[in-house]
Every structure is written in C-alpha cells, then in structure tokens.
Amino acid sequence: MSKILEGKSVLVTGAGGGIGAAAALVLGNAGAKLVLSDIADSEGEAAAAAVRDAGGEAVFVKADLGSEAEIKALVGAAVETYGKLDGAFNNAGVEQRNKPLDQLTLEEWELAIRIDLTAVFLCIKHQVQAMLKTGGGAIVNTASSLGQVGLAGAGEYVAAKHGVIGLTRSAGADYGPQGIRVNAILPGITMTPMISRLSNDPQLSAVFDGLRSRHSMGRFGQPDEIGQAVKWMLSDEASFVNGAAIAVDGGYLSI
C-alpha cells in the first residue's frame, strides 16, 4: 500500500514536545522524510530517533524560533538535507501564564506573541520562499480551540492563536494560486507536557475538570490524534483545502 506522504520532505517545529513528537511519528510512518526541530535538543533528538526506530527517515536540527536568523537557517538546512521542502508543520508554542491581563507583564505578553504568532509568520515567510522554487507545498500551523474562543487567564495565548488563524487565512490567499496550501489545525486539550505543566498547578485542576466536560466527547485528546489530521492536511488528499481552520478538538468548539 502506498504511503500518502511518500517522497515528501517535511519540516516539523516543536518536534520535541507532545504533539510535535507524536505527529512526527505519524508523518514518518506515512513516508515523509523529516527535519525535526526544537529548542530542546535532547527531546528533539529523541523524537528523530523514534521515527528512525519505526523505520522512517528523520534528522534533528536545533533552532530557537525567537530568532529570524535561526528560522532562516533551519529552513535552509531542511532544503539542504532533502533537496527541497514539500511540507511544514509549524507547531512549536508556549503556554499562557494564567494571569488576568492587569497582572500580565509586557515581557510575558511579548514572549507569547513572539513564539506563538510571530515565529509562525517567519516560518511561513522562509518556507514559502523555498517551496516556490519547486512549484508548491503544504503548510499546517498549530492554532488552538483558543484561536476561536476566549479563556480566562489566557489573554496573550488566545490573542496569539486568533492571530495564527487570521495569518493562515491570508497566507492561503497569498500562495494558493502558486500551489502552496496553508491551513491551521485547532487542537482541543491534548495530553502533552504543556498540559501537564498547566494542570499540575493546584489552582487550575478544577478548571481542567470543567474544561473536560466542555469537550463533547467527555475526554481530552491524545497527541497522535492531532498528528493523524496533520498527515492528511499535508498530503495531496487534501488538495482542495486551503486557508482552513480545522478543529480536532473532541467537540470543544461545537457546544
């Protein structure tokens, strides 16, 4: 049986984290040749090793997405490794500080906007420059359910994720005519290190109980459930999907 990403070179950011590492495994099993990146090198290296152990192809390249120079070098390394860039999963992110806005510092606001939104812009910018040289590609950006609705204590994250959806829609319009599809995935709460950090806060455990019931399936997601949707969005099977914000959220946004 042919694999739906066979022959495609794909860059994944945040690949050392929960969703990124699980997605990398799914993409690798679907035949993608992967460049995995993260600021955390041991976790990123482990994700690449897991893909290779499963019979896939992956290299790890460390990058801090707070730096445009590092993003440019990362995309350059991906093109150099496989000769082209067909796909990208712009997934790295940082969580909210759980503070109402009057207590949030400008530095905390700027970190969320920088990594959760500006870095996505910079990744798209350099990725499309590479993809245009080979006639097209597909990009998936990780937004969130919180790209469409608010949450107390998460203003900076919610603002950034709403921005990712708007950026995705505009990028889809910019590059659709040139054969590059740009879409956003909106995960509901998914069991990753990010959620462990948030839910381990005793003040937030009750909040998480409430959020579970907001997912109409009555449970949180697993990272590979996000990866399965990303696999399809990056593949030619999604050839008419562009500028879309696709919820994979167990029904969070539906009730």
Nearer to ligand NAD, 110 or 236 (CB): 110
Output the CA angle 238-240-245, nearest 5 degrees: 75
Smallest distance from ligand NAD to CB 117, Å: 10
Smallest distance from ligand NAD to CB 197, Å: 7
- Site size toward ligand NAD, by CB under 6 A: 28
What is the number of other CB atoms lying within 10 angstroms of the CB of residue 236? 11
How far is the C-alpha of 222 from the C-alpha of 77, rounded, in Å? 30
How far is the C-alpha of 130 from the C-alpha of 107, rounded, in Å? 32
Using a 10 angstrom Cβ sphere, with 0-12 exposed, 13-18 middle and 19 or more buried, the burial of residue 166 is: middle
User: Applying CB under 6 A, does 250 fall inside the site for ligand NAD?
Assistant: no
User: Applying CB under 6 A, does 120 fall inside the site for ligand NAD?
Assistant: no
Q: How many CA atoms lie within 13 A of 81 on its CB side?
A: 21
Cα dihedral sign, 140-32-71-53:
positive
Nearer to ligand NAD, 67 or 134 (CB): 67
Smallest distance from ligand NAD to CB 7, Å: 26
Nearer to ligand NAD, 36 or 85 (CB): 36
Smallest distance from ligand NAD to CB 57, Å: 21
Decide if 157 is catalytic.
yes
Which residues, 6 or more positions from 54, have their beta carbon under 8 angstroms from its beta carbon? Answer: 25, 28, 29
Nearer to ligand NAD, 92 or 233 (CB): 92
Interface residue with ligand NAD among 8, 10, 14, 140 (CB under 6 A) is: 14
User: Applying CB under 6 A, does 9 fall inside the site for ligand NAD?
Assistant: no
Q: How many CA atoms lie within 13 A of 211 on its CB side?
A: 21
* Helix/strand/coil for 138: strand
User: Applying CB under 6 A, does 251 fall inside the site for ligand NAD?
Assistant: no
Segment contacting ligand NAD by CB under 6 A, of 51-59, 61-69, 76-84, 210-218: 61-69
User: Applying CB under 6 A, does 163 fall inside the site for ligand NAD?
Assistant: no
- Contact between 167 and 128 under an 8 Å Cβ cutoff? The reply is no
Give the CB-nearest residue to ligand NAD.
Answer: 17
- Contact between 183 and 168 under an 8 Å Cβ cutoff? The reply is yes
Residues that bind ligand NAD (CB under 6 A): 14, 16-20, 38-40, 43, 63-66, 91-94, 115, 142, 144, 187, 189-190, 192-195
Catalytically active residues are 157
